[in-house]
């Protein structure tokens, strides 16, 4: 007997009818690591992503075909941009014969930065999450979350001290539902411009002097960070809704300071992307 004939005799349990009458919101695979290439303004950037891929399941269906999720990934060998990611989600629904579904893809993203005085170039890494979702009404929603490392300097410390002020590394998390395409660099720039100072992968002595003094001239509480970033997002036409959070890793305490704020038209889904410690 040929192999194809033997396979034809294997039962397909997933395709059987389920008698319990309960539809599932999400079913799929989680924690899949897969190599992807991101199409960036600076060119193609290979990275390794961690994905969650799910679809809705009708009440009558016993199960989905888990192997087909990986088949969808394998079929998309080209570089991904935001439009290509939408196509990936759409192809998943078609392959799984589903009415609704989503893909969440987390990956490290590198941006080349130039030191402020010496001009030395280096790469800085950012944690990025793309979330694309087709809902039952056939509308598509795309969310991006980026975690941006920055410097914050304490206004209170500066005010009460005869000299100096304590500063710390901070993380600003922006989650945005985009109305149209927006490069990651633009979201990162909003966070960096509204911090006490940016951080860089490589600094020479003149650069270190600059960032120290620049932070001192721009003191920010954690509350200031989220408010200033939020106001910038509120005036960004490419952003339909947003959530901002910030965490200061305090240099004079053994705990962090934290703040968050959401847009008036708050994101229509739970906050699932916490700032990473």
Q: d(Cα 19, Cα 21) in Å, to the nearest integer?
A: 6
Q: Which residue has the tokens 């990611």?
A: 85
pTM value is 0.89
Residue 68 has pLDDT above 90, yes or no: yes
- Over residues 72-130, the pLDDT tens digits come to 999 998 899 999 999 999 999 999 999 999 999 999 999 999 999 999 999 999 999 99
- Residue 210 or residue 2, greater confidence: 210
Burial of 260 (0-12, 13-18, 19+ CB in 10 A): middle
| Phi, psi values for residue 174, rounded to 5° | -120, 125
Q: Map out the domains of the chain with their CATH numbers.
A: 16-262 (3.10.270.10)
Average pLDDT rounded to a whole number, residues 187-211 = 97
What is the average pLDDT value for the chain, to the nearest integer? Answer: 91
Residue 239: beta bridge partners? 178
Q: d(Cα 268, Cα 81) in Å, to the nearest integer?
A: 23
- Over residues 22-41, the pLDDT tens digits come to 999 999 999 999 999 999 99
Residue 254: beta bridge partners? none
Of 254, 222, 252, whose CA–CA distance to 161 is shortest? 252
- Percentage of the chain surpassing pLDDT 70? 92
Q: d(Cα 44, Cα 191) in Å, to the nearest integer?
A: 24
């Amino acid at each position: 007997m040929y192999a194809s004939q033997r396979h034809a005799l294997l039962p397909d349990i997933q395709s059987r009818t389920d008698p319990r009458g309960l539809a599932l919101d999400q079913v799929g695979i989680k924690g899949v690591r897969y190599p992807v290439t991101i199409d960036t303004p600076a060119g193609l950037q290979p990275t390794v992503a961690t994905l969650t891929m799910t679809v809705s399941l009708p009440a009558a269906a016993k199960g989905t075909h888990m192997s087909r999720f990986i088949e969808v990934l394998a079929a998309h060998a080209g570089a991904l941009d935001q439009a290509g990611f939408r196509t990936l989600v759409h192809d998943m629904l078609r392959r799984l014969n589903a009415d609704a579904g989503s893909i969440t893809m987390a990956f490290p993203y590198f941006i080349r930065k130039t030191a402020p005085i010496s001009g030395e170039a280096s790469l800085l890494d950012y944690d990025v999450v793309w979330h694309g979702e087709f809902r039952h009404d056939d509308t598509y929603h795309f969310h991006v979350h980026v975690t941006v490392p920055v410097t914050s300097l304490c206004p209170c410390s500066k005010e009460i001290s005869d000299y100096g002020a304590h500063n710390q590394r901070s993380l600003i998390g922006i989650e945005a539902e985009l109305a149209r395409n927006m490069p990651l660099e633009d979201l990162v720039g909003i966070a960096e411009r509204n911090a006490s100072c940016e951080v860089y992968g490589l600094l020479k002595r003149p650069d270190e002097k600059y960032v120290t003094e620049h932070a001192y001239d721009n003191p920010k509480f954690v509350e200031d960070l989220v408010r200033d970033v939020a106001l910038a997002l509120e005036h960004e036409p490419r952003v339909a809704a947003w959530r901002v959070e910030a965490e200061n890793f305090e240099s004079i305490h053994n705990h962090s300071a934290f703040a968050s704020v959401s847009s008036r038209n708050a994101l229509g889904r739970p906050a699932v992307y916490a700032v990473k410690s």
